[in-house]
Structure 1
Amino acid sequence: MPLGRRTEDADTGAGVDSGALTRIRRWTATVAVLTTLAVGCTTGGGPDEGSRPGERTPAPETSEPGGGGDGPVLAVKIDNVRQARPQTGLDAADVVYVEQVEGGLSRLMAVYATRLPSVVGPVRSARETDLELLRQFDRPTLAYSGAQSKLQPLIDAAPLAAMAPGKAPSGAYFRGADRVAPYNLYLRPAALKPAPKPGGLASTGFEFGAAPEGGTVTRERKVRFPAARFTFTWSADQKKWLVAMDGTAARTAEGKRLAASTVVVQYVAVRDSRFHDRWGNVSPFSETVGEGSAVVLRDGRAYDTRWERSSAEDGTGFTTAEGKRMTFAPGQVWVVLVKA
């Protein structure tokens, strides 16, 4: 097999040669045309329950949660390669975590604490980093497409409600008709009834309020992963940071620009985890327990801060250079976990 650039694998989200990926995409597209059945979850161990073939992705109208779950938040793993964009329902998240995965690419974990969109996706597989991040919440619900076989027991043992397609209620997941697998798996959050509760973000350690003194006037901030890049540009009109990914403006499925009220560029240790894909590519693990530096963007200014998280059960506190508590602007928060 001729070797090409390593990129995301169509089945596992890990690195694979670009030539092989091209052949996989052609094969997948052919199957998508010929089959009249919904495609099964690529990492979840079985077909999607309640999915119907050729569904068009509905518009993600935000609605109140249904009730009946244990924890205060719903976390959804969302793909972030070019084939997965534009994402659906991402603008309704309270917090968006950006983490590094195999091949230096990025993946998102959207946390919903106050409202639920009608549809979220495309949903992809979980990583070990997610488990440490989610320990700060009380029995959160994690929606994901599946996981590496040796990681799955850790997910099952974690203090959360794991909702992959094989465990979710009928109709929670479906395959959209506008994309090929694995970029077309979507979630109807109301079917999970995770019941976000008021104050669900309190355990994060985030404090919202008026901007502290200081900071540096900033129009734009760029963040680079080995194989992904993000740009956050201040919009005085919207009073938010407009998001661009890999040089392209990030939008919702309806064409709305993705924008954050606060952006946290959090510098963390990124090391090899114990897990790898079938080709031997090691999954990186971003350490979010400990301490380090961070840059917080809000209100058109950048604040140099320190972050500290004593244990996985604790939230993360941010302190300004003057030793005061860093406050966030009300609205969506993006936390970009980048290698220190």
Structure 2
Amino acid sequence: MRSAWQTTGRGRAAAGLGALVLGAGLAACSDPGGPETAPPPRSTGGPQRTEPPPPPPTHPFTGERKGLDNPVLAVKIENTRPALPQSGVKAADIVYVEQVEGGETRLMAVYSSELPKRVGPVRSARISDLHILPQFGRPAFAFSGVQSKMKKHVRAAPVYDISQENAGGAYFRSGSKPIPYNLYADPKDLLKKAPKAAKPRDIGFRFGDAPPGGEPTTSFTARWPSASMGFTWSKKQERWLASFGGRPDRAAEGGRLGGETVVIQYAKTTRSKFHDFLGSYTPLIDTTGTGRALVLRDGKSYKAKWSRPSEKKGTTFTTAGGEPVNFAPGQVWVVLVNDGKPYIP
């Protein structure tokens, strides 16, 4: 290490001679074979500070620790009375509830952390699905079909099309329900048709302790022109139990549907350019931009703001002050309702 001072002229020469003499004296007293070592640090006597280990990774869709690298699969599922009870919805990480023609609703279940043995009844896709899915990267997307005018939009979307048309071997008819309410699929077989489906990534959800405040809430009902879904808090099960049209919404595997967190997301709903064979126009749900939301968790409701800057970005939920509204770990329901009165196309 350089000295903090220097000598000049004859002073430098004298200093050099003194250093030679001093060095010779030190050499006579030292071990010539050992390396120079710094003196050991002085102990303060107190405990040593150690950094805490980082928290273990969790799934970005559920906040839990399973299936972190499993591919992402989205499936369209019928959500009308003739289709109940549905199969596979209990195993979904995220369940989207979307308005379709006639004021009814349809589900889009997103799977990654685990897969059910079967899922269905599988139904056709809608244009709003193609606006929701880009935030997941390029997931596998299972559905029974689309209107002919929509096929080019599906081809252009960042999804792996594993519809009945392209992955027929993964689909089967089952049970006593009439067509079209008896079409099911095997999720493992579906994913074999999309081996490069995206892995889970951050879509804006945050999990952890509940934010301060909140309004004690025992139930909430979301309404559309021809349908309603209710969610009632169960302290025993520590989740929100779903109802359809005022009746318990049961799973084909047994028990009630429902999730640990239910998000009521108010989004502008307008008429799209698509319609069904009866001439009823398909609603278009605008899930980009900003809007208001209500987050239900732990028997309370929290007013929130949702924000999604673009279709490739995720959706965040924050308080009025901009702090994240954490979800409870577990299944999340995102219930999309019109921002205002129920939308009647």
- Shorter-chain TM-score tier: 0.7 to 0.9
Task: Report the identity percentage.
Answer: 51
1:47 matched residue in structure 2: none
Deviation at 1:204, TM superposition (A): 1.7
- 2:306 and 2:122 map into 1 onto residues whose CA distance is 29
Aligned 8 A contact 2:270 2:285 in 1: yes
- 1:219 and 1:134 map into 2 onto residues whose CA distance is 31
1:319 matched residue in structure 2: 318
Deviation at 1:276, TM superposition (A): 1.0
1:187 matched residue in structure 2: 185
2:270 matched residue in structure 1: 271
SS at match of 1:155: helix
TM-score scaled by structure 2? 0.76
Question: Which amino acid is 1:247 matched to?
Answer: G
- 1:86 and 1:160 map into 2 onto residues whose CA distance is 28
Q: 1:175 aligns with which of 173, 197, 201?
A: 173
Question: Which amino acid is 1:284 matched to?
Answer: P
Aligned length: 271
What RMSD in Å do the two structures reach over aligned CA positions? 1.9
- 1:191 and 1:162 map into 2 onto residues whose CA distance is 14
Greater CA radius of gyration, 1 or 2?
A: 2
- Which structure: greater strand fraction? 1
1:213–1:198 distance in 2 versus 1, CA, 3 Å: farther
Aligned 8 A contact 1:265 1:338 in 2: yes
Deviation at 1:254, TM superposition (A): 2.8
Q: Which runs of 5+ in 1 are unaligned?
A: 1-63
SS at match of 1:192: helix
1:120-135 equivalent positions in 2, closer than 5 A: 120-135=119-134
- 1:246 and 1:279 map into 2 onto residues whose CA distance is 24
TM-score scaled by structure 1? 0.77
Aligned 8 A contact 1:271 1:285 in 2: yes
Question: Which amino acid is 1:216 matched to?
Answer: E
Aligned 8 A contact 1:123 1:185 in 2: yes
Q: Which runs of 5+ in 2 are unaligned?
A: 1-65, 340-345
Cα deviation code 1:60-95 (max 9, x no counterpart): xxxx99x9xxx9310000000100000001000000
Question: Which amino acid is 2:278 matched to?
Answer: W
SS at match of 1:133: helix
Deviation at 1:97, TM superposition (A): 0.2
Aligned 8 A contact 1:115 1:196 in 2: no
- 2:131 and 2:253 map into 1 onto residues whose CA distance is 33
Question: Which amino acid is 1:242 matched to?
Answer: L
Aligned 8 A contact 1:293 1:305 in 2: yes
1:46 matched residue in structure 2: none
1:148 matched residue in structure 2: 147
2:63 matched residue in structure 1: none
Cα deviation code 1:259-318 (max 9, x no counterpart): 210000000000001111223211001000010000000011100000000000000011
Question: Which amino acid is 1:329 matched to?
Answer: A
